[in-house]
Structure 1
Amino acid sequence: MTNDTNHNAGQDLSHEDAVRKIAAIIKDTKFAMLTTTADTGRMHARPMTTQQTEFDGDLWFIGGKDTEGVHDMRRRPQVNVSYSNPDASEYVSITGTAELVEDRAKLDELWSDFYKTYFDGGKDDPNIQLIKINAHGAELWAGPGKIKALYELAKGAVTGRRGDMGTNETVDL
């Protein structure tokens, strides 16, 4: 584990520990920002609903085959997915490769009536696209919490020294 002052490649965590830590951060986060690269070369982030599956190194989303994001992933599968839980001062940014999947059993597992808003044909809508992100690496930040952060900021302002603002880790998956 590293902090912002001494950031390293983060090989201190085992693969299993990294997966568990990431799973704990994203577990209760309703939305993620999925970033793709458009035809213009510009990056584009869009909110995606976090699926209620345990993170095991892969992330799953449901999108539309006719969307810009799916078009981007089809042409350039390298993506980034970021999660933010400011109440807990926890953040994670995951890099990976998008895979466009056709799997009825997986769709049955992930589907909720929430998606009827996006797909007129429900679960049988031909526009549904499962998106699997094969995670390659992640960067995690864990802050000290709001009260300790305020204390550390005040202490730094008075002493002129950097306060303990939490940890930052980079892990390979």
Structure 2
Amino acid sequence: MADGDATETGSRTEKIEINRTAYEAYRDTADVQIEGVRRLEGKALETVKVVLLVTLGIVSAWNVFDQLTIDLYVVAAVLSFLYSLWCCIGVYTPSIHPLGLSADAIGEIQRETDLEHHYAELVDTYQEVVEKNREKMQGRTAEFRRGLWAAFAGIALFAASIGRLVTAESSIEPDLGVVLLVLALAYFGYRQ
């Protein structure tokens, strides 16, 4: 009988240790996810700054040079920049990411007397936190990539507008082809 109790106690101790290790791994993963969200928000904010600075530079150039006109490139670039801003602001917009245990869970933990059950509950809670954060991070990352590639497309389109001024080409066919090519490259860049 004593050997059976020792085996059961050893098995219980192992289960407690496994749950404790799993809880710590999930907790660390949740911390890394939150840090990733903060880095992504920082990148989105930097992209917004770049888009606004490029736009400011273009508006300033418009005021200095008389020959600048609104053409297909400029319209497409402005739309790309607006879309980029929309996406990046969406990434930076505060949302609720689960950070860990709720106040209710902390109260339950304080009342818990079974260590095995305690760690099992922590594992379940942090597993949910990690899954929710993973889903939100995937959505935010995709939105940031769309915004970043739209910014690249806008810059390329403004460069094409300047190139059009230099060559004094006035036909719409090359314009439409270049706009579609830049937007297609931006789309395929985003999909990578």
Q: Return the TM-score normalized by structure 2.
A: 0.20
Structure number with higher relative contact order (C-alpha < 8 Å, ≥ 6 residues apart): 2
More strand by share: 1
Larger radius of gyration: 2
Q: Give the number of the structure whose residues are more often helix, by fraction.
A: 2
